[in-house]
Amino acid sequence: MNVTLETYKNIIFIGKLEAEIYINAHAMIINKKEHNVKPEIHNKTNILFIGIDSISRLHLIRAMPLTYNYLREKQWIEMKAYNKIGDNTFPNFMAILAGVNETYAFDKCSTKETGGINKCKLLWDNFKDQKYTTAYAEDSMEISTFNFYKKGFEKQPTDFYFRYFALAAEKYLPTTHDKPWNTNCIGYQHYADYIYNYAFDFASQYKNSPYFGFFWTNSFSHDDINLPSGYDLRMRNHLRKFEEEKVLDNTIVIFVSDHGIRFGDIRNFFTGWLEERMPFLYFYIPENFKKRYPNLIKNLKINRERLTTPFDVYLTMKHVLQLSGSEQDFTAISCPDCQSLFKEISINRTCADAGIPENYCTCSPYEEIDHSLPIVKNIANFIVNVLNALLSSHKKCAQLKLENVISARELTYKKNKDFLVTLSVLPSKGKFEATVRKTSVKNSFELLGDISRINRYGDQSKCIRDAHLRKYCYCI
């Protein structure tokens, strides 16, 4: 077992009474000698992903100014037009880790089947094939990416896998929660500290050997726009520790989020719509890599102002493997036109080129229109009918009825006329947002992409286990 749960108990004796006064757990990286490579023959570039759930680029600047200023001061390269490709964490993870979209992932990776996800080759598998030591860690087991209404991995996916420790720690240590499903602290420590300390230990132990690590936190950012501010100093200090301890001399770091805040009051405004689609993405590039590949760094810097996506991040990682001597294909299954960020991206790139569904595209100049117009009412009813059709096979879910049209925006592009409509329904009081295209047939519409839920649904849908439909269902 690669993660150790150690429990220390101090017992005080008072007559015949016994009182437990201290219990704690410690996650440790135990160096596996078989993974070590002699420094003189190690010419591969390490990869370290450090991720935070649900933070847009703009919200990082607002809520975590110490972290943001540190990134600027140290000249991390920021992708200012990074656009998500799916609704929640899972599709954006799968685009980064496998180059596939949500439809492909659900179909081919069989997330409803135990171990189905093992059928899909993820980036850590590609790096493991090239003798990299691999690690994956994520906090908040209730909502972890591959197990939230999914079956998870049957076989341990990486050499170091944090989930075993996390399950034991959540079971045996006292925990605190901001929401029933989100654990903030375990024992005497913030949950995210466990993840970032684990990442540091991993990078320290294997700094002289090739490694790939993916470290993700939900605990201080998921579904709450205010929580990240409280972790700002700690996040800055974690990043600074990597630098001060000199464990990144041969490591590219990808500091990334999956999307902006998806629920809450901010989603009642158009800026909330925009931010939800534009998470942050930064690259730290070590000096030796800059000196060896100046043209690649030049392209990466040019791409700071270009439209980019998780598919491009996937291909960038494939590019790193190629530079390390591995034969790699430069294709992402769900985005044939996507490319490595070490190659210059066209300034005329479109959302279609980048594999971004139209309902998540931020390049579209929507204009606000009167939401009481008859065509808007027709579109709203169309959206509700789509929702009811999706729920028709789940008899425990109530039929939804239109309550109000909250807002409407219009986009005219070439021959198409698209509408972005936000509405609320009964009996759930659910708020939904959808992009709909008016077809050439009178009073006929086409749904573009997914329908987004923009207020929390809590336990309204606890009667079904479908990860996709839970945001729509209101249990009778």
Q: What is the average per-residue pLDDT within 365-379? A: 95
How many of the other CB atoms lie within 10 Å of CB of 224?
17
CA angle (232 as vertex; 245, 271 as ends), nearest 5: 135
Query: Cα dist. 41→36, 44, 323, 324 in Å?
Result: 11, 9, 15, 12
Q: What is the average per-residue pLDDT within 94-123? A: 91
Element (H, E) at 401: strand 401-413
Question: Residue 7: what pLDDT?
Answer: 46
Q: What is the average per-residue pLDDT within 357-375? A: 94
pTM of the model as a whole: 0.93
CA angle (94 as vertex; 205, 322 as ends), nearest 5: 60
Alpha helices in 333-373 (DSSP H): none
Q: Report whether pLDDT(140) > 60.
A: yes
Q: Report whether pLDDT(201) > 90.
A: yes
Question: Residue 325: what pLDDT?
Answer: 85
Where does the chain hold its CATH 3.10.450.10 domain(s)? 367-471
Q: What is the mean pLDDT of the chain?
A: 91
Q: Report whether pLDDT(241) > 80.
A: yes
How many of the other CB atoms lie within 10 Å of CB of 52?
26
Q: Are 407 and 271 in contact (CB under 8 A)?
A: no
Please name the amino acid found at residue 2.
N
421 or 114, higher pLDDT: 421
Q: What is the average per-residue pLDDT within 155-159? A: 95
Please name the amino acid found at residue 476.
I
Q: Report whether pLDDT(358) > 90.
A: yes
Where does the chain hold its CATH 3.40.720.10 domain(s)? 45-360
| 199: Cβ contacts below 8 Å, ≥ 6 apart | 48, 50, 135, 137, 213, 215
Q: What is the pLDDT of residues 425-435, one digit of tens each?
A: 999 999 999 99
Q: Provide the CATH topology of domain 45-360.
A: Alkaline Phosphatase, subunit A (3.40.720)
Q: Report whether pLDDT(194) > 70.
A: yes
Q: What is the pLDDT of residues 387-416, one digit of tens each?
A: 999 999 999 999 999 999 999 999 987 778
Q: Which of 338, 352, 260, 310 is nearest to 123 (CA)?
A: 310
Q: Report whether pLDDT(1) > 50.
A: no
| 305: Cβ contacts below 8 Å, ≥ 6 apart | 80, 81
Q: Report whether pLDDT(127) > 50.
A: yes
CA distance 260 to 340: 23
Question: Residue 248: what pLDDT?
Answer: 95
CATH number for the region 367-471 comes to 3.10.450.10
Q: What is the average per-residue pLDDT within 255-271? A: 93
Q: Are 82 and 277 in contact (CB under 8 A)?
A: no
